[in-house]
Amino acid sequence: MRHRVELGTKVRLDDIDASDTGGYADRAAAAVELARDVARLDELQDRLYAENTRSLLVVLQAMDSGGKDGTIKHVMSGVNPIGCQVTSFKSPSEEEADHDFLWRIGKALPRRGNIGIFNRSHYEDVLVVRVHDLVPPSVWRERFDQINRFERLVSELGTRVLKFYLHIDRDEQKRRLQARLDDPNKTWKFSPADLAERQRWNDYREAYDDVLTKCSTEWAPWFVVPANKKWYRNLVVARTIVKTLEEMDPRPPRPTVDPKKIVID
């Protein structure tokens, strides 16, 4: 699938164009396809829910203002909320910090028949944790392999895992942060902490390059989604989820009754 990080590729985000639109001229050119994918996603989710055996996990990672929230809002706009949960991972609570880094992740995995969305994830434990020296390198370095093994088990047990890195460039982040300051309806989203993180742009780049290089596996692939253009970002994420669900081909269980033999008076 497009934008998938193939096993064994050394990723350098600086070499990937965040403004790529995959040949679509503009928003209008992609609109019909996006609407079709969003509708198709609804249909497939219904089948996944009815089948009630497997589930799908969608991991979203990005720099601040990369568009995680907007992606969820648009791509999932057609799905029935009953079969979908979003979990946002913040700095660990006291209870979370008293456990291993995958404890809170395991608890948030989607139940059978559901789509689970992670707004940030266990990858923070090799990103922000690395950039801010929250644990020694000997600890976070082990985590790439621990994560791969964890995701393998998760997928073996019936949860398909898709991971999206929403790729914006530094200029686009500047525009978006400025837009939050300029629009009173968006100012609540602005946090001075975002500026401090922006100072560490290169450190995050390096940490993301490693994540994408080391943790894109056959069972839990990463996708680098060009995300400067929000409409293209939405299209890529929606399309990838739809294709994956089509491949999973969920089927409602066989009826336990013969409908022809039932009379409702």
Residues lying near ligand ATP in the complex (CB under 6 A) = 64, 68-69, 88-92, 119-120, 124-125, 128-129, 189, 191
* C-beta closer to ligand ATP: residue 44 or 72: 72
| Smallest distance from ligand ATP to CB 59, Å | 13
| Smallest distance from ligand ATP to CB 90, Å | 4
* C-beta closer to ligand ATP: residue 30 or 168: 168
| Smallest distance from ligand ATP to CB 213, Å | 20
* C-beta closer to ligand ATP: residue 54 or 143: 143
| Smallest distance from ligand ATP to CB 139, Å | 12
**Are the C-beta atoms of residues 133 and 83 closer than 8 Å to each other?**
no
**Would the CA dihedral through 246, 88, 104, 168 be positive or negative?**
positive
* Burial readout 60-92 (b: 16 or more C-beta within 10 A, e: otherwise): bbbbbbbbbeebbebbbebbeeebbebbebeeb
* C-beta closer to ligand ATP: residue 78 or 92: 92
* C-beta closer to ligand ATP: residue 88 or 148: 88
Chain residue at closest Cβ approach to ligand ATP: 124
* C-beta closer to ligand ATP: residue 77 or 191: 191
| Smallest distance from ligand ATP to CB 65, Å | 6
| Smallest distance from ligand ATP to CB 208, Å | 13
